[in-house]
Structure 1
């Protein structure tokens, strides 16, 4: 398999880190063989471990990893289409013309990250034995970080390719075997869940009350979010709920503590039902946009659980948002655009996705026939809340000085909606004329409360009105509740790399692609019958293995959905 993480890459990477700390580097390297520098002389103190842990985060923030998070998790959904200057690989994915030559079928950037994590897990215990200042607790925390990042990488890989090689040993010597069979989706999912369960209590709870590291590094709550998500995919809905509750309770506790210390620390956060969320228009303000500005503009907000940090950097750019959504200093559409039906006729009240009061549609998108994506691109927005029927508000955008929007992996409303989905599934099926049992009603009402809080924040609804969600409109059947949660996840997490994965999870749970097809097919105007047939099989939910990986690893067997494709390289 073409991991691109072979022993030479690992050695050279470690040497580069080690050499940067030496004053007489040339002489040293001339005396000691390369392999001895890496294995015997680099891994000697806590700082060496910290450097490689930091490199794991740096790899996640690389353009190759970031762009795949978005393309794999959203490009094939009903949210996205191509924009201006999209490369052929993106165009072909958008057209569902996926081939094994497509560059986005390559996975080496994620396996590079996995190998860095494996290297930390392998060598950190040896360092702890050598460095008396490197404590057992610090060792365990570093291993928890590396394990969580590795698990996150595998989670992206299995949701994209289904079956992938599962490797937990670093590539450090000539005996490494690069011919590794693919493990099945369920097997890898079980492994990474077990790995996270084993280290969750070793992770740092918080890095300090107001530290950005609480959002930009793996904490115990980031691991809880990963576990909640993974259990949702595994179908263990009660465990998903349990981990969601740990995060929600933590945010409630954090809100109460900050409010008690000083209301100025949390002046824009309000309770929507029982959930503390950043308001779109704080009390006394006639302008909306606060939640968008704090969450996607400034970054590292109260609602954040784990996000990749660019805001504080003057040299690193978020290449995902720069290329896909558009540069900070341009209002032009990027390589990707929103599907036009998402924001059509919102102001006159006839859009099926967004009510005219929903702030998210004005914040996240701009334009009509070609709709540019503004989420993450702008530093902030502002518009009057008294939107009237038939006319959209004038949105003022505040630009950044660079392409440095953070990329969010998990945030509070995502967790709330995961809990809602799990509650609906645990409640079971209703709608055959029978009435709800007390347990079913309780679970549906819990799910509804999560959705309602997210929806009310977005629509500036602090109290119930005739224009808000009503439980009785949805709480009579599993299908109605399921659609309510799925639709709210689409609105809330749009363009965040979640939608296609949500649809794949739906297909896996139902054993059918029908509901996914009904949503996705509306963005196609040509060859719809052929596309519907092509996307109707379970295999079609996943990417093909790239041809380079097939050549390098004889154990890999191509996804049957792509076995008989005509491979062409014509642009």
Structure 2
């Protein structure tokens, strides 16, 4: 089994023999000559490079990232939202974003780690096909499957970029030597989304259904991961019928299900053990490659704690019973007694992991996400009994989670807006601290120009003396996206700064 957790790390560091760092534009390039003369000769070379694309998401081979990709996925999806509170270790650049004062000097806006993974994918796409002519044991089916994996990973990386920056350079060719470095301008959101959907469409029929073992099925791209990403991108793009169709491909496969269980069973299955029946695609960490979250949430000078509203309003409590609780809340997403963000640092309901146990996986997609994507698309399409179907899905998720009656908004079945807000709020309970909250809020705000969602958000998160200014910023749609990091502006003269930050 090539892709187990140990192999991820072996390949990650082994790739430094082939891949050197380049200080020029958003690139980690192979050293000139090595990639063509000494590599790309066998199918094993190709598969090692495919695995390297996944491994790059764990962090830089040289350890030089200010923020590893998994950390960026969290920060980009949560800092601008409403479920975090600052604590003793909160950094200045994190305060900036939380207080709607982001500048182009903020290192959190440095997209270089994401483009490094994109360049790895582009490199495989360029060089892998020629290996078929050098290795007669390398089948077209194997090549197609590996190409599908890297196209999907590239699409996922661009989906993070376009939701975070709106307009980004669309780089589809690898940088493998200094001669190939090209300074690209930004592409529009529409062009980037079109390329994402093209990559996913081409990958869908070629991606494997299973690798034959559970860890690999969860840790590498399968056809179901392709469909889950498609559904999410199509929902973002307001193509609701197509989003429903993509979601149904995952649902109708009957390969996934909602994890049932006791108060601790759901948490243990999804976040302690990982790779559960609910998982579709998750980034694999282990004892040899720890995740970046322990210092963020577990140590005395932790960087973040849960916002007060998480237990007071999102999950709520039952005053009459200590054991009647939403299984996603206290002891899962958060430890209520300390406001500790628990999802990545808890060993069980009560006990904290040790530092060397900080290897909870980062979940990109799981079955509940696909269900609620479908519910949201149904609520927006709102044809026939769509709203009833959407509510049925939400209540299915809530029943599994033992959600409390206080969070049941019970919207009328003919109230499309009410159903949509119920779904948005249910997503906050289901995906707490999984890097989805800001994108959920922004998607709903953009859909109908309902900026009150974002204005209410900042009113509840920034200091009182900054509320008026922060709300005024929300009137400019470009304020909803990050600035381009100043280093990229300085080194690529083709780039034009997001107009809100000029």
- Cα deviation for residue 408 of structure 1 reads 0.3
| Whole-angstrom distance in 2 between the partners of 1:512 and 1:561 | 19
- Cα deviation for residue 470 of structure 1 reads 8.2
Structure 1, residues 472-498: CA drift from partner, whole Å, max 9, x if none?
x43131111011100000110010000
Name the residue aligned to 1:216: 219
Q: Is residue 413 of structure 1 aligned with residue 357 of structure 2?
A: no
Q: Is residue 152 of structure 1 aligned with residue 156 of structure 2?
A: yes
Name the residue aligned to 1:378: 346
| Whole-angstrom distance in 2 between the partners of 1:240 and 1:52 | 31
Instruction: Name stretches of at least 5 consecutive residues in structure 2 with no aligned partner.
Output: 1-12, 21-30, 60-66
| Whole-angstrom distance in 1 between the partners of 2:393 and 2:365 | 16
| Whole-angstrom distance in 1 between the partners of 2:116 and 2:53 | 9
- Cα deviation for residue 13 of structure 1 reads 8.4
1:295 to 270, 273, 281: 270
Q: What is the TM-score when the length of structure 2 is the normalising length?
A: 0.88
Name the residue aligned to 1:278: 259
| Whole-angstrom distance in 2 between the partners of 1:481 and 1:449 | 11
Name the residue aligned to 2:45: 48
Compared with structure 1, are the counterparts of its residues 347 and 506 closer, same or farther at alpha carbon in structure 2 (3 Å cutoff)?
closer
Query: SS of the counterpart of 2:153?
Result: helix
Kept after mapping to 2: 8 A contact 1:75/1:81: no
Kept after mapping to 1: 8 A contact 2:109/2:482: yes
Query: SS of the counterpart of 1:453?
Result: helix
Name the residue aligned to 1:236: 239
Compared with structure 1, are the counterparts of its residues 341 and 88 closer, same or farther at alpha carbon in structure 2 (3 Å cutoff)?
same
| Whole-angstrom distance in 2 between the partners of 1:18 and 1:376 | 31
Query: SS of the counterpart of 1:315?
Result: coil
Kept after mapping to 1: 8 A contact 2:318/2:325: no
2:307 to 314, 327, 339: 339
| Whole-angstrom distance in 2 between the partners of 1:145 and 1:239 | 22
Compared with structure 1, are the counterparts of its residues 360 and 177 closer, same or farther at alpha carbon in structure 2 (3 Å cutoff)?
same
| Whole-angstrom distance in 1 between the partners of 2:406 and 2:448 | 32
1:165 to 160, 165, 169: 169
Query: SS of the counterpart of 2:214?
Result: coil
1:424 to 362, 373, 379: 379
| Whole-angstrom distance in 2 between the partners of 1:303 and 1:417 | 13
1:314 to 287, 291, 294: 287
Kept after mapping to 2: 8 A contact 1:200/1:224: yes
Kept after mapping to 1: 8 A contact 2:307/2:339: yes
Larger Rg: 1
Name the residue aligned to 1:261: none
Kept after mapping to 2: 8 A contact 1:299/1:405: yes
Computed over aligned residues only, the root mean square deviation of the Cα atoms, in angstroms, reads 2.4
| Residues matched between the structures, number | 466
Alignment of 1:148-547 (within 5 A): 148-208=152-212, 210-250=213-253, 252=254, 254=255, 276-281=257-262, 288-310=263-285, 313-319=286-292, 321-326=293-298, 332=300, 334-344=302-312, 346-347=316-317, 357-363=325-331, 364-367=333-336, 371-381=339-349, 396-397=350-351, 399=353, 402-427=357-382, 439-440=383-384, 442-459=385-402, 469=408, 473-526=411-464, 527-547=466-486
Kept after mapping to 1: 8 A contact 2:458/2:467: no
Kept after mapping to 2: 8 A contact 1:148/1:223: yes
Q: What is the TM-score when the length of structure 1 is the normalising length?
A: 0.77
